[in-house]
Structure 1
Amino acid sequence: MAVHADDIEALGWVILASEIEMQTARGTEYFDIYEGRVIVDGREFIVPVHVGSELPEILLGRQWLSLMKLVIDERNGILTLEYVGE
C-alpha cells in the first residue's frame, strides 16, 4: 500500500523506517514505511505502508489480489474489494 504523506498524519499509524530508497517508474524515490491497519469485510490486516510526497492517490499493490477479489464497476463508479481467504 502507498499513501501520500499529507494523508498519513490523520491515521495515527506507527513509523517503522524513514527515508528508504526505492526504484519507481519515475526513478529513485524515498519513502517512509509505516505499519498500517486496514479493515476489509470486518477483518483487520496489518500491512507495510509506503509513504511519500509525490503520490497522487492511495495505491494498493498486487499482493492484495492474492487475498482479495477486486471488482470494478466503472459505469456505476463502484469498486469492491472483498476478502476471499489465504
Structure 2
Amino acid sequence: MQTARGLEYFDLYEGKVIVAGKEFIIPVHVGEQLPDILLGSLWLDIMQLVVNKPKGILTLEVVEADY
C-alpha cells in the first residue's frame, strides 16, 4: 500500500463492527511500523464519522448510500 512514507506492506485482517444494531465487516490493517491498528477507510463510504476531540466525543452513524 502506498503511504506518506512510501510503499509499505501490511497484514490485512477482517474486523466486525456493530453500529445501530447492524453488523459490518471492515478491513483492518496491521504492520510492524504502525504504532496503532488502522481500521479500513472503505467503511466510511457507508458511515459518517465525526470527531470532537476537545469534548472527547466520537460519533459514528450509518448513512444511506445513493446507489
Structure 1 residue runs of 4+, over 6 Å off? Answer: none
1:80 maps onto 2:53 in alignment: no
Identity of aligned residues (%): 66
Larger strand proportion, structure 1 or 2? 1
Write the deviation string for residues 21-79 of structure 1: whole angstroms up to 9, x where unpaired.
x2211112111111211112221111222211222334442x33321122222331101
Counterparts in 2 of 1:58 and 1:33: CA distance versus 1, 3 Å: closer
* Unmatched tracts of structure 1, length 5 or more: 1-21
* Unmatched tracts of structure 2, length 5 or more: none
Q: State which of 48, 51, 59 in structure 1 corresponds to 2:27.
A: 48
Aligned residues: 64
Asked if the contact 2:51–2:57 (Cα under 8 Å) also holds between the matched residues in 1, the reply is yes
Aligned to 1:30, the other structure's residue is in SS state coil
Give TM-score scaled by structure 2 length: 0.70
